[in-house]
Amino acid sequence: MKSKASHRVVIVGGGAGGLELAVRLGRRYGAGVVTLVDATPFHVWKPSLHEVAAGTIDIHREGLSYAMLAHDNGFRFVAGRMTGADRAARQVQVDALRDSDGEEVLPARTLPYDTLVLCLGSNGNFFNTPGAEQYAVSLDSTASAERFRIELLKAVARKGRAGAGAAVEIAIVGGGATGVELAAELHEAGRTLAAYGLGVEAVPRLDMTLIESGPRILGPLPERVADAAREELVRRGVRVKEGCKVLEVAQGSLRTSGGDLPADLFVWAAGIKAPTLLRDLGLPVNAVNQLVVDDRLRTEDEAVYAFGDCAAAPWQGKTVPARAQAAHQQAAYLARVLSARIEGRSPPAEPFAFRDFGSLVSIGHAEGVGTLMGGLAGRRLLVEGWVARVMYASIHWSHYATVLGWWGATMRSLAQFFGRRSRPRVKLH
């Protein structure tokens, strides 16, 4: 049903949650009602960023153009970075869009709204560690993951000149799911790079060290899952240092509580914080800049909603975890709340209730490990190996099914499968 409603919903952030919400509302109410703003022109699902960093996903092939998604799903897309909002006037400010040379492509714009939804995601949290922001890459955006990939290729070429036996040392700070997945993905990328040869004297090994300040990797997951992941990583030659705090990052080395560690490349995957611009909206935020929302995902301002990584929503005495799974469920809930708002109906009586289905961690393309919650078992169930990996891939698929439709997502998967036979397995340029 396309609406003639005059209500204007502006969604800022077309990531795991925001894009799904824009698609759900756009299909129903059309571009006159629903506007999506994003700082980038195309969408890559954030849980794939470790694959972008390792080169096993090519953003230029896999990224989905927002302009296409807007056309196919009936919402309006505005390209540009939100810089602030005038809540009294109900307007969002969007910065000018510039090309890589700084030339202005689109001017700064002001977008009026009746309902504003903020889903800006999160950035890496360096916890004021000296040198971290300068020398380490955080996998918090497609651009930073792509930057790491290029640095990796350059390091491989440089070390390759040294002849046989050389290694590119990669320090990954943070033993959560992102750090674990990246270490495993880089291990596979290293084997592929060695097979291609890359035109250097001898392709260096990729030597990974995964550093976790807590007593063990995958802290929030059950010990059995962490043990299985550690075993798998160690089997692949990844050094796992637990209970080791990074004190400083410098060019070529890390100072840690367990001594100095030389490294060519650093990845920071040790925590998140929401974008600082959220502090300037005059709304309550927590210590990591997340907007405080109620159990209806609404801020103190009745016209402003927030969800996903940039929001602190109550859940079991804590806040809803920053996961794609949560953003997906919140998008489905908000679609119902905002439909009622657009149509002038009473909102659904029930609050948002996060349902934890467990966590799956991909360990390369053939292995996975994780837990499933509830369901038939009614308790935690450990899953490992290819079963866990297939389940992990199916979560990825279901995001694309939401935004492209079942048929579109299936065709996309088939195109990827067959395309891989005619392309290098790691992006080499």
Ligand X SMILES: Cc1cc2nc3c(=O)[nH]c(=O)nc-3n(C[C@H](O)[C@H](O)[C@H](O)COP(=O)(O)OP(=O)(O)OC[C@H]3O[C@@H](n4cnc5c(N)ncnc54)[C@H](O)[C@@H]3O)c2cc1C
User: Where on the chain is the footprint of ligand X (CB under 6 A)?
Assistant: 12-18, 37-40, 46-47, 49-50, 81-82, 119-121, 139, 177-178, 181, 275, 308-310, 322-325, 327
- Separation between Cα atoms, residue 327 and residue 17, nearest integer Å: 5
Which residue has tokens 């393309």?
365
Question: Please, what is the minimum distance in Å from the beta carbon of residue 28 to ligand X?
Answer: 20
Question: Please, what is the minimum distance in Å from the beta carbon of residue 236 to ligand X?
Answer: 18
State which residue, 39 or 166, has the beta carbon closest to ligand X. Answer: 39
State which residue, 120 or 281, has the beta carbon closest to ligand X. Answer: 120
Length of the chain, in residues: 429
Burial of 128: CB neighbours in 10 Å, binned 0-12, 13-18, 19+: exposed
Provide Rg for the chain, Cα atoms. Answer: 22
Question: Please, what is the minimum distance in Å from the beta carbon of residue 403 to ligand X?
Answer: 12
Question: Please, what is the minimum distance in Å from the beta carbon of residue 186 to ligand X?
Answer: 12
- Separation between Cα atoms, residue 177 and residue 321, nearest integer Å: 13
Question: Please, what is the minimum distance in Å from the beta carbon of residue 147 to ligand X?
Answer: 14
| Nearest by Cα to 242 from 258, 220, 228, 266 | 258
Which position's Cβ is nearest ligand X? 15
Question: CB–CB of 34/11 below 8 Å?
Answer: yes
State which residue, 5 or 277, has the beta carbon closest to ligand X. Answer: 277
Q: How many CB atoms lie within 10 A of CB 145?
A: 26
State which residue, 115 or 178, has the beta carbon closest to ligand X. Answer: 178
What are the angstrom distances between the C-alpha of 74 and each of 1, 66, 115, 119, 397? 11, 11, 18, 19, 22
State which residue, 253 or 359, has the beta carbon closest to ligand X. Answer: 359
Question: Please, what is the minimum distance in Å from the beta carbon of residue 308 to ligand X?
Answer: 2
Token representation of residue 33: 């009602």
Question: Please, what is the minimum distance in Å from the beta carbon of residue 131 to ligand X?
Answer: 21
State which residue, 16 or 403, has the beta carbon closest to ligand X. Answer: 16
Question: Please, what is the minimum distance in Å from the beta carbon of residue 182 to ligand X?
Answer: 7
State which residue, 169 or 181, has the beta carbon closest to ligand X. Answer: 181
State which residue, 132 or 203, has the beta carbon closest to ligand X. Answer: 132
State which residue, 119 or 369, has the beta carbon closest to ligand X. Answer: 119
Residue 165 CB contacts under 8 Å (≥ 6 apart), including other chains: 202
Question: Please, what is the minimum distance in Å from the beta carbon of residue 18 to ligand X?
Answer: 5
